[in-house]
Copies of this chain bind each other. A is one copy, B any other.
Amino acid sequence: MTAGKRWVLARRPDGVPCTDDFRLEDTTLPGLQDGQALIRVDHISVDPGMRSRLSGDSYAPALDIGATIESAGVGHVIASRSQKLKEGALVWGGFGWQTHLITDGRGVQALDPALYTGKITPTSAIGLFGIPGLTAFFGLLEIGKPRAGNTVLVSSAAGTVGATAGQIAKMKGCTVVGITGSDAKCAYLKEIGFDASINHRTCGDLAAAFRAAAPKGYDIYFDNVGGEMLDAAIVNMRRHGRLVISGQIAEYNAREPRGIRHTLPFITQRLRMEGLVVYDHAVQFDEARRQMAEWVNEGKLTWREEIIEGIEKAPEAFIGLFRGDSFGRRLVRVA
């Protein structure tokens, strides 16, 4: 018997989530059966994309009321009756917002000790080497198709997805402009090699600010935001420009979808807009991780983490994402 805690969905959020939409429960985990392992969760993630699961939409099935909030996590196997997961192993998976879980091993993977050494910490398994970094990698390379000399615009550029996409674009010989929400984040973008940055809270008209940063326009827009920002990018695209739809945080809490106003430039400028779900590239994940690890060890790729202490803070940490509070990959330390 193991005592733990977990956050469950108390009610469906209406618009931006609030803390009352979540409830912290005490849990008691039974003893292990054959084939099972007990995981102590060390860190969990908070992700804007998880928002749609809280209310459900035509695409994402809704999480049940009372169900554990879903998220990525890293942890340790602290007891095992499983062949696959040995006691002491460092593991990651879709653990959810909880301190402990019993698993039969499905969806749980041991971290490769050869990869997670030196600069590459276990928490990066749910950051740069997890869904955010992989989304940047495949979104930029497979949909954006950067070529040397291209100009690339990235939104939410100080987040792990945006910062990774921008740094990879730099390695491919592109000029990279990042959009973010504070002067500190703009300074960070310069530090990691972005050519220019735009603070969307102070720049005034977005389309004009995008134009000022790259008067000849953009070949690629890597979008994590949607709505007005996407619209302002569309009118600044060059011929045959590619729009990578990686995230749409402006849409997640909208009671009515907002969308974009400009579709004519798709014809006049021959634009292509394409969305991705990174799991479609799952068979290439290990290859991508090896490539990114090489870049990290060569000092060409960096990332930033922001650790919030205590599972009690998970809802606040999540809600803050929609205010742009986070700076880098936001994780919650559980144990």
Contacts and interface: CB of A to CB of B under 8 A. Distances in A.
**Dominant secondary structure of chain A at its interface with chain B:** loop
A257 interface: yes
A266 B273 CA distance: 8
A331 B187 CA distance: 59
B265 A235 contact: no
Given A58-B235, A272-B272, A263 B251 contact: yes
A59 B277 contact: no
B59 A268 contact: yes
A274 B272 contact: yes
B265 A59 contact: yes
Interface string A15-52: 00000000000000000000000000000000000001
B226 A245 contact: no
20 contacts: A57-B264, A57-B268, A58-B235, A59-B264, A59-B265, A60-B268, A226-B263, A227-B263, A245-B267, A246-B267, A248-B264, A248-B267, A257-B261, A257-B262, A257-B263, A266-B273, A267-B277, A268-B277, A270-B274, A270-B280
A324 interface: no
Contact of A261 (B258, B266, B273): B258
A256 interface: yes
Given A58-B235, A269-B59, A270-B280, A251 B264 contact: yes
B280 A267 contact: no
A270 B263 contact: no
A197 B264 CA distance: 26
Given A257-B264, A263-B259, A264-B257, A272 B273 contact: yes
Smallest CB-CB A-B distances: 8 pairs? A266-B275, A59-B268, A259-B261, A267-B275, A272-B274, A245-B266, A257-B261, A273-B273
Interface in A269-296: 269-277, 280
